[in-house]
Amino acid sequence: MFVRAKKNRSGSVSVQVIDKSSGVYKVVKTIGSSSDELEVKKLKKLANEFILSFHGQQTLAFGQQDDDIFYQSVYNSIQKVQMLGPELVLGRIFDQIGFNLIPEELFRHLVISRLIYPVSKLKTIDYLQKYKGITITVNEIYRFMDRFHKSHMEEAKKISYTHTVGVLGGQFGMIFYDVTTLYFEAADEDDFRISGFSKDGKHSNPQIVLGLLVSQNGYPLDYEAFQGNSFEGHTMLPVIERFKAKYKLEKLTVIADAGLMSNSNIKLLRAKKCEFLLGGRIKNETDTLKKKILSLKLEDKKYSELKRPDGLRLIVQFSSSRASKDAHNRAKGMERLKKKLASGKLSKKHINNKGYNKYLKLEGDVTITIDEQKYEKDSAWDGLKGYVTNTKLSADQVMDSYRQLWQVERTFRITKTDLKIRPIFHYKKRRIEAHLSIAFASCKLYKEFERQLKEKGIALSAEKALDILKTIFGIILKLPSGKEKIMLLDKTIEQQSILKHFS
């Protein structure tokens, strides 16, 4: 077969595929016609690709080809079928972030795999073999993790930080901090994996405490792992100080929730000349200040500024929607408390300030009752929210900045739910830390993918877009010349749209 360019009376040129296998010229296929020289060149290229795709068959005229021979020819040309969507899109973003500077190909595969198929390392081996054609043993993964821990863990953090600063246009002065716990599927403890208060509700499992810093847009900036029984309030200052020293940052405003607001933390933050914005525990203020707060009689969305004895600003805002939520939660808590009391499951040890147990009281030596008066008094606090700060930001700026704290909470949710960082199956500290670093890089990749989807005007969530990437496969064909060519199976509009925007 060969390509013929036939000039028509109209002046246009028709590009055809001609077959002469039986001594007679036959038009196998007319590719198209045009009077534009560049378009004719494109048509000729398509014609040549058409000939190659049929692997040199001589009887390809439509309606005449031998279907069995055609099928067998194409089948023999297929070398392998692979899931290509994740690498084509996420691999490109991986490189844009700069993670490709780390000279470990397995790092790339593990980071992208955690977004597409977040499972244990053993199951990841099956995934890589089945969908990527990569054969690797679990010992090779463990050896990689040991190398990565020794040589590249901090490098991955710095690459992520540099990219984030670039995305933010160099405007970097506000960081958000929060803490979570990650449990292990193991009964044995050691000096790192220790049982403690679990935010996952896995109180019997060994765990570690993870402190995470994120930027205004929810990008993970840095993290640190602590022993499982560490008090979360003691984790904030070490993480922030090391972060400032690492990147030589002079001025930072730290934003954290009320759980991290302790007098010792405030003293340390002030001693280190850090600006901060913390959720205020208004019920723990001095009696004088509490009386002032309750006398404010604020309307919906209104606020007032008060001065604490230590000179810090306390901003108190009232929200009617928050008041409804607080009242609803208190009523539910009281209902559960009454059920427990009726069942006889409560004893003296339950009389404490944990949750709604604060409404319990002891009458005489043995009778446990509910303090209804205390319950009613608590309604005066419904809808009130406090913010403590040493910044010069306006009250509106303080409240708007604090509301962005949901970004770190969402980053934790992505890490725990989408990336399934826990439970952790490793027990050696260096591999636990390497596992966290891989998840950190995956989280960064996820957030950048999410940002680019929005920037490119693609009306899909990151979760939905990832699901579409999983459906983009490709066939690797061996051509008559011996070369290999990838044929993408991107047939749906959504598949083609994503590939087009990220090409």
Name every residue whose Cβ is closer than 8 Å to that of residue 15 and which is 6 or more positions away in sequence. 3, 4, 5, 6, 30, 31, 32, 33, 40, 43, 44, 46, 47
pLDDT at 490: 77
Mean pLDDT throughout 15-22?
A: 79
pLDDT at 163: 93
Is position 396 within any domain? no
**pTM of the complete model:** 0.74
Is position 322 within any domain? no
3-state secondary structure of 259: helix
Q: Are residues 163 and 92 in the same domain?
A: yes
Q: What is the mean pLDDT of the chain?
A: 84
pLDDT at 150: 94
The closest alpha carbon to 236, from 183, 281, 179, belongs to 179
pLDDT at 53: 66
Mean pLDDT throughout 285-310?
A: 94
CA quadruple 235, 236, 237, 238: dihedral positive or negative? positive
Q: Are residues 179 and 190 in the same domain?
A: yes
Q: Which of 27-31, 73-77, 240-244: highest mean pLDDT?
A: 240-244
- Domain membership of residue 48 as a residue range: 2-65
Q: Does 483 score more than 90 pLDDT?
A: no
Q: Which two tokens stand for residue 34?
A: 């045009």
Q: Are residues 165 and 179 in the same domain?
A: no
Is position 309 within any domain? no
Q: Are residues 132 and 153 in the same domain?
A: yes
Q: Are residues 24 and 43 in the same domain?
A: yes
Give the distance from CA 182 to its chain's centroid.
16
**Could you give the CA distance from residue 169 to residue 412 in angstroms, rounded to a whole number?**
25
- 461 band by pLDDT with thresholds 50, 70 and 90: very high
Q: Are residues 414 and 467 in the same domain?
A: no
Is position 50 within any domain? yes
Dihedral, 264, 440, 419, 105 alpha carbons, nearest 10:
-160
Q: Are residues 198 and 209 in the same domain?
A: yes
Mean pLDDT throughout 239-256?
A: 89
Specify the range with the lowest mean pLDDT, choosing from 35-49, 170-184, 235-249, 321-335. Answer: 170-184
Is position 436 within any domain? yes
Which residues, listed in sequence order, are joined to residue 176 by a DSSP beta bridge? 214, 255
Name every residue whose Cβ is closer than 8 Å to that of residue 284 and which is 6 or more positions away in sequence. none
Mean pLDDT throughout 362-388?
A: 86
| More confident call, 183 vs 310 | 310
Is position 337 within any domain? no
Q: Which of 79-88, 142-151, 270-279, 359-368: highest mean pLDDT?
A: 142-151
Say if strands 275-280 and 253-256 run parallel, antiparallel, or are unpaired.
Answer: parallel
- 40 band by pLDDT with thresholds 50, 70 and 90: confident
Peptide bond into 423 cis (omega under 30): yes
pLDDT at 61: 46
Task: Tell me how many domains the chain contains.
Answer: 3
Is position 340 within any domain? no
Q: Are residues 89 and 156 in the same domain?
A: yes
Q: Are residues 164 and 86 in the same domain?
A: yes
| More confident call, 81 vs 175 | 175
Q: Are residues 150 and 223 in the same domain?
A: no
Q: Are residues 412 and 445 in the same domain?
A: no
Q: Are residues 201 and 247 in the same domain?
A: yes
Q: How far is CA 246 from CA 51, 191, 242, 439, 499, in A?
A: 60, 27, 6, 21, 38
Mean pLDDT throughout 371-380?
A: 89
Q: What is the pLDDT of residues 111-126, one digit of tens each?
A: 999 888 887 777 888 8
pLDDT at 416: 67
- 60 band by pLDDT with thresholds 50, 70 and 90: very low
Is position 129 within any domain? yes
Q: H helices within 31-169, ranges in order?
A: 37-53, 67-77, 85-97, 105-116, 121-127, 138-151, 153-167
Specify the range with the lowest mean pLDDT, choosing from 62-66, 130-134, 205-209, 370-374. Answer: 62-66
